Structure 1
Amino acid sequence: MSVDEPGRAPRPARPVRNAARRAALAALGLAAVAGCARAGGGGGGDTLTLGLAVPLTDTEGKPDVYGVRSRMGAELAVEELNARNAFGGARLVLRLVNDRGDPETAIDVADSLVQDGSVLAVVGHVYSGATIQAATRYEGNLPAVATSATSPDISRLGDWIFRVASSDSANAVALARAAQGMGRRIAILYANDDYGQGLARNFAAALRAAGAQVAAMDPFLDDTNDFRPYLQRMKARGVDLVFVAGLQEPAARAIRQAQEVGLAARFVGGDGIEGLAAMGARYDGTAVGVLFHPQMSDSSRAFVQRYRARYREDPDSQAALAYDAVRLLARALEEGHRDPRAIRDWLAGVGRDGREGAPAFEGVAGTVKFDEHGDPVDKRFTMGVIQGGTISLPEAGR
């Protein structure tokens, strides 16, 4: 059976429940191959297939930078693995599907991957909401390794969902600790979705546990254009630090408008806003918690060099985490685990002590050791500051 290879256009979608959904999914170009038995040998003879579920576009058809970079990191990993003949003559391929970052679309994407008998495991999803909705389809069928999905709710999704990014329940503690050293009166702007709600809730709880107060806490949508009412109220309350639990585009609007209304507050956020570094000097001084940084380790620096050579640009967290997710699953395949349940069982033992465990996985974005929920234990989360188009680590200059 032929499968979709990296960079190749996927096949038409499987039949769906009604004509409207069928048309929507066909427009996305979701690949699906139904009716194939998933062979114990895995992947259909000379190929080993991983699903890659990422948002290549948003729901309006515009390119999604988080998904595009994830695809680039994943494809680099596949190219490197095949170049060194990692699988004893078999070739690793990716079946690329576009979930648009949309939870409903993610359900159909997951269905299509589960029904494709050649797919052994899934890399994805990128967004928390998509991961949460897709998880019910993967449970008992396909192991999935989410890349940058950080919602704490993912820890409760079942035995077949893993992730290479640390949960916001852990990240928020580091962010809150850093925020306390940056400002006295702290406000929170949060995206009203799974990622924003979880990060904001845990950040606020960590602040309060440390005896700090939250001066304001306001939700927004990704397409919110006017943050001025929130920002003017923050100015009146003497807010000197604004924490953004959301993505880079709305964060950029909020920062621009804060400057317009004269709110002299510093901004800080999680990994969702790291893209501000490439958006101009007005964002200099913004503090960002990142899941990957080129200076984290020797392997990180080496990865950056390979990524630059391939794509003529620097990788971000999305690229690094997708790269690690592919290589993690490839390790299972290299060790001879060629069916979904065997891969799931192997993942559950990564970094565990005892005879049934596998060694911790050393990725370019840090070490992966899974706990009983499929979350990485003690995963490094680093605070940096945007300056001159890059994110600098304060400790790098010491």
Structure 2
Amino acid sequence: MSLARSPGAATLRAPALAICAAAFLALGACGREGGEPLLLGLAVPLTDTKGAEDTYGVRSRLGAELAVEEINKAGGIGRRQLALRVVNDKGDPESAIAAADSLVNDPRVLAVVGHVYSGATIKAAATYEGRVAALATSATSPEVSRLGPWIYRVASSDSANAVALAQMARQMGRRIGVLYANDDYGQGLARNFMAALQKSGATAVAADPFLDDTQDFTPYLRRMQRRGVDLVFLAGLQDPAARAITQAQSLGMQARFMGGDGIEGLAAAGARFDGTGVGLLFHPQMSDSSRAFAARYRARYGDEPDSQAALAYDAVRLMARALADGRQTPEAIRGYLEHVGQDGGPPAFEGVAGRVAFDSNGDPVNKQFTLGVIQGGRIVLPQGAR
């Protein structure tokens, strides 16, 4: 996912939580037995740089906190509670450096879950190098694969996701245009999508970059309309995607739209987005464990989980498994992650968003990626995808 600011979705109400100290969140740690809690950093964009709530970051925090609550309710890790120190990276590369710096300089922090956006992950990586392992959640840029042995992620790279998206695009349209955010996420997704299209024997007839605060997409859309585009692939986040789709409809453009995980939130934004295709890193109906997680999340927060919540939940659970295996130093946790799912190493992690086994770049191998279509305020999976 991109480094861009938050989508304009409905504001989420954060749950009431017991906080034992202002500096970090230790769910269930008050009155604990077995010593100080085992502390993980959680680097997420709770707000953007202007102070507006970032839905992606808030949902990531809720998923992570649910994982901690469940672990502590089950007895913690070796009689010690698990805790999170939450830092707001604002979805901004420069703020991400400061957030990472505050975590690596806290001797209590054993490892970091985050970041959410690709740009933030890429910018913060050098700060973590040689000090603390970071497990990114929904950062999908192919550039994350090149960040070195201290950076891992539970989401599949857009270099892999783009193949499935290109196959879906070929089924939805014949003349394909591309609109992409001019940032790490948008550029990487668009580049890999167009390469996958070309391998399948098709090409994009138009491709235009945009900024995340672009308000007027009509020049791009009119050009695509003149070229007979019948499908527009949007490589970006839901706010600009919503503007582009709404303006296309006002122009009478008949093309359908599709995009990657960054536009997942359009499902709850109104019927005008029905028929939009979405590539998903998680769906509540993708497996039995996904359905069970969705039920627990729904019971806890009164809302449906999305990819952000599920991936953060899995990242915390995987870090907790390393801690439970006795890896309770930053170096030991990094070594554990390096061998997850490999011969002679810890077994693959079976998460609610799919199986995680890392390759030599810290990417999950053959990670599940699901394609759906927005219908009636939700994303519906095709028959056979469940």
Q: TM-score, normalised by structure 1?
A: 0.89
2:8 matched to which residue of 1? Answer: none
AA of the residue aligned to 2:349: F
AA of the residue aligned to 2:128: Y
Name the CA distance, whole Å, in 2 between partners of 1:335 and 1:233. Answer: 57
Residues 234, 331 of structure 1: alpha-carbon distance in 2 compared, 3 angstrom cutoff:
same
Residues 343, 146 of structure 1: alpha-carbon distance in 2 compared, 3 angstrom cutoff:
same
Find out whether 1:230 has 2:213 as its counterpart: no
Deviation at 1:374, TM superposition (A): 0.3
Find out whether 1:51 has 2:58 as its counterpart: no
Name the CA distance, whole Å, in 2 between partners of 1:45 and 1:154. Answer: 36
Residues 9, 106 of structure 1: alpha-carbon distance in 2 compared, 3 angstrom cutoff:
farther
Would you say the 8 A contact 2:115–2:121 is kept in 1? yes
Would you say the 8 A contact 1:295–1:396 is kept in 2? no
Name the CA distance, whole Å, in 1 between partners of 2:201 and 2:210. Answer: 26
Choose the corresponding residue for 1:373, options 348, 351, 361. Answer: 361
1:344 matched to which residue of 2? Answer: 334
Structural mapping, 1:312-391, within 5 Å: 312-354=302-344, 357-391=345-379
Choose the corresponding residue for 1:144, options 110, 131, 134. Answer: 134
1:217 matched to which residue of 2? Answer: 207
1:85 matched to which residue of 2? Answer: 75
Choose the corresponding residue for 2:53, options 63, 78, 93. Answer: 63
Deviation at 1:89, TM superposition (A): 1.4
Find out whether 1:128 has 2:135 as its counterpart: no
Deviation at 1:7, TM superposition (A): 6.6
Find out whether 1:195 has 2:185 as its counterpart: yes
Choose the corresponding residue for 2:293, options 265, 280, 303. Answer: 303
Deviation at 1:127, TM superposition (A): 0.1
1:275 matched to which residue of 2? Answer: 265
Name the CA distance, whole Å, in 2 between partners of 1:374 and 1:397. Answer: 27
Name the CA distance, whole Å, in 2 between partners of 1:110 and 1:162. Answer: 15
Name the CA distance, whole Å, in 1 between partners of 2:128 and 2:75. Answer: 29
Would you say the 8 A contact 1:147–1:321 is kept in 2? yes
AA of the residue aligned to 2:188: G
Count of residue correspondences? 362
Residues 197, 307 of structure 1: alpha-carbon distance in 2 compared, 3 angstrom cutoff:
same
* Structure 2 unaligned regions, length at least 5: 1-15, 25-33
2:13 matched to which residue of 1? Answer: none
Deviation at 1:353, TM superposition (A): 1.1
Residues 328, 181 of structure 1: alpha-carbon distance in 2 compared, 3 angstrom cutoff:
same
Would you say the 8 A contact 1:6–1:95 is kept in 2? no
Would you say the 8 A contact 1:86–1:334 is kept in 2? no
1:153 matched to which residue of 2? Answer: 143
Name the CA distance, whole Å, in 1 between partners of 2:114 and 2:18. Answer: 17
In the TM superposition, structure 1's runs of 4+ consecutive aligned residues that sit over 4 Å from their partners are: 5-12
Name the CA distance, whole Å, in 1 between partners of 2:197 and 2:384. Answer: 26
Percent identity of equivalent pairs: 70
Name the CA distance, whole Å, in 1 between partners of 2:96 and 2:17. Answer: 20
Name the CA distance, whole Å, in 2 between partners of 1:290 and 1:389. Answer: 16
Find out whether 1:110 has 2:100 as its counterpart: yes
1:39 matched to which residue of 2? Answer: none
Name the CA distance, whole Å, in 1 between partners of 2:146 and 2:247. Answer: 38
Name the CA distance, whole Å, in 2 between partners of 1:127 and 1:213. Answer: 28
Residues 178, 329 of structure 1: alpha-carbon distance in 2 compared, 3 angstrom cutoff:
same
Would you say the 8 A contact 2:136–2:152 is kept in 1? yes
Q: Deviations over 1:193-213 (max 9, x none)?
A: 000000000001111121101
Residues 200, 383 of structure 1: alpha-carbon distance in 2 compared, 3 angstrom cutoff:
same
Would you say the 8 A contact 2:370–2:385 is kept in 1? no
Deviation at 1:329, TM superposition (A): 0.1
Name the CA distance, whole Å, in 2 between partners of 1:266 and 1:205. Answer: 21
1:41 matched to which residue of 2? Answer: none
Secondary structure of 2:383's counterpart equals: helix
Deviation at 1:362, TM superposition (A): 0.3
AA of the residue aligned to 1:379: K
Secondary structure of 1:394's counterpart equals: coil
Residues 10, 277 of structure 1: alpha-carbon distance in 2 compared, 3 angstrom cutoff:
farther
Would you say the 8 A contact 2:286–2:385 is kept in 1? no
Name the CA distance, whole Å, in 1 between partners of 2:181 and 2:94. Answer: 18
Name the CA distance, whole Å, in 2 between partners of 1:180 and 1:298. Answer: 30
Name the CA distance, whole Å, in 2 between partners of 1:394 and 1:234. Answer: 28
Name the CA distance, whole Å, in 2 between partners of 1:10 and 1:240. Answer: 55
Residues 112, 397 of structure 1: alpha-carbon distance in 2 compared, 3 angstrom cutoff:
closer
2:241 matched to which residue of 1? Answer: 251
Secondary structure of 2:340's counterpart equals: coil
Q: Deviations over 1:191-249 (max 9, x none)?
A: 00000000000001111121101111001111110000000111000000000000001
